[in-house]
Chain A
Amino acid sequence: MNIRSTLHSACVLTLGLSASLPSFAIDQSWSETVKQADGQTVYWNAWGGSDNINRYIQWVADQVEDQYNIQLEHVKLTDTADAVSRVLAEKTANKNDNGSIDLIWINGENFRAMKDGELLYGPFANDLPNYKAYVNPQARQSLTQDFGTAVDGMESPWGMAQVIFMYDTAELETPPKSMAQLLSYAKANPGRISYPEPPQFLGSTFLKQALHELTPHKAALLQPVSNIDFDKVTKPLWDFLDELHSVAWRNGQVFPSSAEEMIRLLDDGEIDVALSFDVSAATVQIDQGNLPDTVRSYVFTNGTIGNTHFVAIPYNSGAKAAAQVVANYLISPEAQVYKQTPTVWGDLSVLDYTKLSSSQQKAFDDLPKGIATLSLEELGTTLPEPHSSWMGALETEWRKRYAN
């Protein structure tokens, strides 16, 4: 707690001033937006399964209340699809203003569904002052192509995630560093390997990671599923899973329901390898006493899947101005550096390092590195997400094969 509050004040000291730096460049309409936002309440529907993320969101809520007089309410979701279906239901019920959601933490399939269904407000992201000041859309493909869907300013980036694996060095000398090694490890140690149950986000990502490694038709993954021969492309994946499940944890009859459960299972020694979309997961969990301090993170030799996550505003939000202000605050250097602090969340910044001032760069440089967090170099290659239509197709096929 102590470290965190010192850190916090340090952030405010070094960045507080610079956060207001771009203000001279703000055009009339943005100050108008900020004025409108005053006193509005923003219902932010964001996945709420992780305590450190929830606490970070709470911190953001405190900041925007202090700085902009915005009430930010975190509506904790178990699945972002719930929020999508709610907006959809509201649209079909003709509830076109004052909808129940003002901001959604979103990407991939859900973003595509909302964008295609014209359920989003925008484009707004590219006009946010902090976006213009600090984000370089060319830095990463995932900033403009969200799972193969063009972003077009309909969502504003918030953070970057990459799949990492965790293992306990006290139990295991060399962890499996590819899907093939994972399978042979599972065969040698039955019952010690598992992955979250699709359609849980991380579980689906595991499927994509495996598919990426196993299929010879890698180019097909970037196209919509309807354009290719699904069975042919995915056959190696199902063969792999059939083999894996027979030697997996609980013989593949049950799967962990989330990243948190995997961490719990790793701590209990039920499984030997856990995965997470949160690069600092291991450090944070060690800190909270949920993992032994011998746990370390690693990535696969040929890279792991990574993506950018965003926030978007539903078309029927009643607090669009405040939602934009929040989205803008989220990509302020202040908020991003605090977010990347390993003991806070450790989520990677979306800002372009070269666009930051030297004091802002120093704030990032000074971030403590958790004992089990990988550096950017160590994270290695980021594999692109397949086209967003793959997610649903893989989930449906998976449930058809293994969930009944």
Chain B
Amino acid sequence: MLLPSFGFEPAFSRYELTLDHWLALGSQPEFWSGLWLSGSSGIIATLLSYWFASSLLVLCYHRSWFQRFQSAITPILSIPHAAITIGLLFLLSPSGWLIRFISPWLSGWDRPPNLLTTQDPYGITLILALVVKEMPYLLFALLAAISQLNPNAHITTARVLGYDRTSAWHFVVLPRLYELIRLPIFIVLAFNLTVVDVASIIGPNTPSTLAVTLLRWFNDPSLSMRGLASAAAIALTMVVLGVMIGWHLAAKTLISYRHYEALRGDRKTPFRWLTTVGAIGAACTIVMTALTLLILPLWAFAKRWRFPDTFPSTWTFDNISRASRSLIELSTQSLTLAFTSTTIALVLSLILLEKERHTDLSRSHTQRLLYIPIILPQVTLLFGVQVSLLWLNLNGTWYSVAALHTFYSLPYVYLTLKSPYLAYDQAYLDQANRLKPLKWRNFFMIKLAMLKAPLFATFAIGFSVSMAQYLPTLMAGEGRITTLTTEAVTRAASGDRKLVSIMALMQAIMPLCIFALAMLLPRYWTPIRLTIRKRMC
């Protein structure tokens, strides 16, 4: 990836190194404006996501309904972001649902207003879409981290010392919590700065974000643009690294300032009102997500739905039957890819974890390697991958797509499985081995069987990661392998809202089903197995 940006392209018989591409890049106005847009939207979206998620946690963690709320939002994580973004587009656009709700009785609009709500040049809706996608993820990460911290006891301690609840969170829990979720935040940051699908659906396009622009350059027929795209991809990676460093320093400064606040003796942090506003933001985000998921089925079954009707005037199943053929094809493709890649990722994770259980040394190394796919920008990494695939003559095959899906779901599968797997009490297995020296059988029938709940949950996560893959499918599949996601994203902004909704809906439903199964199966597995056994005897 680095070499082509300096003009070194063995694939195209160019061997001299030049700075031409970099100079050309610097003189491209679309580069600078795209860079600015990527940077600002990526940073702001990450800030808002963390702010909203942590505020919600601070204000609601102690409430009795929070536990139920937590299990209610978990499935949202499994919905591919393209589906949510498409719903958001249909919600927020000037002819979207929100404006339909208030038109014409309140707004006086009997035609959509000429407002820049979606695809606005400042990327505000893009930021919104990223927040809708990342806020639940960060909340989930926060919840996972907080279970290690025993927050209630520390909050009580601080409160008894005279600090109100919110300030106690800020002074005592959040500083440590932040340390634990730094990695997820960096993942979100890298994602937000380099995302292609969300930005191309809902982001501005005159100019687009840098990631979208450079993808366009890369696909341009003339060779010179490819070098330009490589240079831009490198630039984007450096920007991501720079932003991470900047973020880290800024966070350090803020944390030390808060630490200083904490020790001054004042019982109330000035950050308190921020928390209130942030929680309101989080509530709005969640409402928006819900509306987003509601609007997809509405469009899917609508025949006529003109502005400013709040609901479709006529309904039909035609949309589905018209799309059924391609839907079946695309769903089959998505499902087989997801099942294959997740299964492989799960097996690899088991091998890695089993090794890790014995050696402490490998721990940090494996982990660091595994983070590469989730930290490095997909666009950059995948250009390199595509060039290599072309060399190896493996481009456009189902296997390379499946391999890339595995590559991208592996880190999530590994990280999810890690703590429950390592926490497993090995004594059970040892005991089984003493009773019956069948090592492999015991491994499956005892250890894995006891771990089936985390295994199923991990599978569901890997599945949803694979379902959501847009760029890897596009790059390795070269358009020959199309999934629900690639098809939905390609058509989102332009295509027929009804068909796009159907695809987005399917895309959302499949991981949800897998998630539901992953929750239910382990619970009923043993009772069902015993019932069957009883019937057989």
Contact = CB atoms under 8 A, between A and B. Distances in A.
B is a partner of A: yes
A89 B11 contact: yes
A269 B111 contact: yes
Interface stretch (A77-85, A124-132, A150-158, A227-235): A77-85
Given A92-B12, A197-B205, A261 B494 contact: yes
B112 A95 contact: no
Please tell me the size bucket of the interface on B: 35 or more
A404 B206 contact: yes
B11 A267 contact: no
A382 interface: no
Interface string A67-82: 0000001011111011
B449 interface: no
A88 B206 contact: no
Contacts of B297: none
A257 B494 contact: yes
Contact of B121 (A253, A259, A290): A253
B219 A257 contact: no
Nearest to B391: A93
A292 to B, nearest CB: 7
Interface stretch (B303-311, B422-430, B454-462): B303-311
Contacts of B94: 270
A113 B487 CA distance: 27
B95 A268 contact: yes
A256 interface: yes
Contacts, number: 145
B491 A49 contact: yes
Contacts of A55: 322
Interface string B303-342: 1101100000010101001110110000000000000000
Interface stretch (B57-65, B369-377, B475-483): B475-483
B390 interface: yes
Counting chain B CB atoms within 10 Å of each CB, the highest count among A43, A45, A75, A110 belongs to A75
A259 B491 CA distance: 12
B87 to A, nearest CB: 16
A254 B221 contact: no
A191 B490 CA distance: 26
Given A93-B390, A254-B204, A268-B95, A404 B30 contact: yes
Contacts of B120: 253-254
Nearest to A113: B221
Nearest to A261: B494
Nearest to B100: A268
B39 interface: no
Interface string A29-63: 00000000000000101001101001100100000
A192 B94 CA distance: 13
A86 interface: yes
Contact of B306 (A54, A79, A268, A402): A268
B354 interface: no
A172 to B, nearest CB: 12
B268 interface: no
B348 interface: no
A77 B223 CA distance: 20
Interface string A84-115: 11101110110100001000000000100100
A8 interface: no
Interface stretch (B132-140, B255-263, B495-503): B495-503
A249 interface: yes
A265 B306 CA distance: 10
Interface string B372-395: 000000000000000000110101
Interface string B286-303: 000000000000000011
A399 B30 contact: yes
A332 interface: no
Contact of A95 (B32, B121, B390, B490): B390
B307 A268 contact: yes
B390 A402 contact: no
B34 to A, nearest CB: 8
Interface string B219-241: 11101000000000000000000
A93 B496 CA distance: 38
B471 interface: no
A55 B302 CA distance: 21
B391 A250 contact: no
Counting chain B CB atoms within 10 Å of each CB, the highest count among A256, A270, A289, A290 belongs to A289
B116 A254 contact: yes
A373 interface: no
B114 A249 contact: yes
Nearest to A94: B11
Contacts of A100: 395-396, 478, 480
Contacts of B206: 197, 253-255, 402-404
B531 interface: no
Nearest to B34: A404
Nearest to A171: B111
A73 B11 CA distance: 28
A51 B11 contact: no
A43 B219 contact: no
A76 B479 contact: yes
Contact of B479 (A82, A197, A249): A82
A257 B314 contact: no
Contacts of A253: 116, 120-121, 204, 206
Contacts of B33: 404
Interface in A116-167: none
B147 interface: no
B493 interface: yes
A391 to B, nearest CB: 12
Contacts of A369: none
Contact of B316 (A289, A402, A403): A289
Contact of B496 (A78, A290, A399, A404): A290
Contacts of A403: 30, 205-207
A93 B11 contact: yes
A283 interface: no
A120 to B, nearest CB: 14
Nearest to A197: B205
Contacts of B12: 92-93
B495 A289 contact: no
Given A77-B479, A403-B207, A88 B494 contact: no
A260 interface: yes
B71 interface: no
A187 interface: no
B316 A76 contact: no
Contact of A81 (B32, B114, B115, B221): B221
Nearest to A260: B494
B32 to A, nearest CB: 8
Nearest to A398: B206
Interface string B482-525: 10000100110111111100000000000000000000000000
A253 to B, nearest CB: 5
Given A51-B322, A76-B490, A95 B393 contact: yes
A253 B122 CA distance: 11
B384 to A, nearest CB: 14
B13 interface: yes
A201 to B, nearest CB: 12
A400 B29 contact: yes
B390 A89 contact: yes
Given A43-B480, A51-B322, A85-B221, A270 B496 contact: no
A190 B114 contact: yes
Interface in A215-264: 249-251, 253-261, 264
A288 B323 CA distance: 12
A144 to B, nearest CB: 23
Nearest 4 A-B pairs (CB), nearest first? A191-B114, A258-B494, A268-B95, A269-B111
Given A58-B325, A292-B306, 17 more contacts: A45-B479, A49-B490, A54-B326, A77-B479, A78-B490, A85-B219, A93-B12, A249-B114, A250-B114, A254-B119, A254-B120, A256-B494, A260-B496, A267-B306, A268-B112, A268-B306, A402-B206
10 contacts: A85-B220, A254-B116, A255-B205, A257-B205, A261-B495, A267-B306, A288-B496, A402-B206, A404-B30, A404-B32
